[in-house]
Amino acid sequence: MKRFCYRCGALEAQQGPLIQGLCQRCFAEENRLLQAPAELEVTVCGRCGAYLLGKRWHEAERGDTIANAIRATVLSNLKVARLSDAGTKFFYPHEVPELELWVEPKLAERVINVRAKGKVHELQVKPQLDEARIKFMLKRSTCDVCGLKSARHYEAILQVRGKLKKKKSSEVKKMLQRLAMNASKRERNAFIAKVEEQREGFDLYVNPVNLARQMASMLKLEFGAKIKESAKLIGQTRDGRRKFRFSILVRLPSEKD
Ligand SMILES: [Zn+2]
Ligand SMILES: [Zn+2]
C-alpha cells in the first residue's frame, strides 16, 4: 500500500518519510521551530551596562553593551520545539547544540529579528527555517551593585596600619586595589567603596567581607602582617538573619632602612 501525506496527498515514496502522517514539507509548515514572545522588555543598568535576566543582574560583556543585553534577553526568553512520539518539548537555545540562530536587533525600529535553522523532529531530512519578530522596550535602571556603590555600602573595613614610608604605603594600596579589580571579574558585588587615609596607614571600605579577608591574608603572606578581625552586630536582614559589620586590622611590620 502506498503511504501518502494526509494534508496534501504527496507520496512518501517521492517526498521522503512521513512524520506523524505528514510529508516533510507539510510537517515543517504545521510545526514551528521557535516559540518566541511577541514583546520583550530589555533592562540595562544606565551606569555599568549590566543587564537583568529574571531577577538577576549580569555583568556587561565586551563590545556593544546594548546589543549584547538584547541578545542575552532574547536567548533566555526563546524556546525551541522538539517533537517525538512522547510529545512536544521545549528547550532553551543553548540546550539544542545543532541549532543555528541569528539574533538581529533593529534599534531604531525597536524590533529584534530572529532566524533559526534546526530540526523539530529527527525524521526530518533537512533542518527547517523559522523566523520571529519581537518588539522590545529598552528600560534603563540601576543595577544591584551600582545601587550599593552609590550608597557607599560596605561589609568590612580593612584597617591597614604600620610605620610605612609613603612609597611603600601606596604600593600596598595599589596591590589591594588590583586584587579587588580581579575579584570583581568573578563576583559582581566585590568592590572598594571608599579609601580613607589615616595617620599611620589607611582604611579600605570593602564588599563583601570575603574580599577584605583575602586582602588581609595577602598582606600576611607578602609582608608577614598580623591580622585581627572583629564583628559588630548592626541589625537584621529582611529574612531575619543577623547582619554584621566587620573590622579587620592588619598591622604591617615597620620598614627597616
Ligand atoms: Zn504534505
Ligand atoms: Zn550597574
Q: Which ligand is nearest to the CA of 10?
A: 1
What local confidence, expressed as pLDDT, does residue 165 receive?
83
Distance 98 CA to ligand 2 centre (A): 34
**Radius of gyration from C-alpha coordinates of the chain:** 29
Q: Which ligand is nearest to the CA of 19?
A: 1
Distance 127 CA to ligand 1 centre (A): 16
Position 257 in a domain: no
Q: Which residue has the cell 548592626?
A: 234
Give the residue with greater pLDDT, 38 vs 63.
Answer: 38
Share of the chain above pLDDT 70, in %: 99
Q: For the residues 153-164, what does the mean pLDDT come to?
A: 92
For residues 96 and 81, membership in a common domain is answered with yes
Whether 255 shows a pLDDT value over 80: the answer reads no
Closest CA to 153 of 91, 205, 230, 87: 205
Q: For the residues 241-251, what does the mean pLDDT come to?
A: 93
For residues 39 and 139, membership in a common domain is answered with yes
Position 219 in a domain: yes
pLDDT in tens, 193-240: 999 999 889 999 999 999 999 999 999 999 999 999 999 998 888 888
Strands 156-161 and 51-53: unpaired
- The values of phi and psi at residue 59, to 5°, are -60, 140
Q: Which ligand is nearest to the CA of 69?
A: 2
Number of domains, the chain: 3
What local confidence, expressed as pLDDT, does residue 257 receive?
55
Distance 76 CA to ligand 1 centre (A): 33
Share of the chain above pLDDT 90, in %: 79
143, 163, 193 — which closes off a domain?
Answer: 143
Which regions of 59-154 does DSSP assign to beta strands (E)?
79-84, 87-91, 100-106, 111-118, 128-141
Interface confidence (ipTM) of the complex: 0.84
Residues 105, 67 contacting (CB under 8 angstroms) = yes
For residues 83 and 61, membership in a common domain is answered with yes
Distance 47 CA to ligand 2 centre (A): 5
Position 79 in a domain: yes
What local confidence, expressed as pLDDT, does residue 139 receive?
96
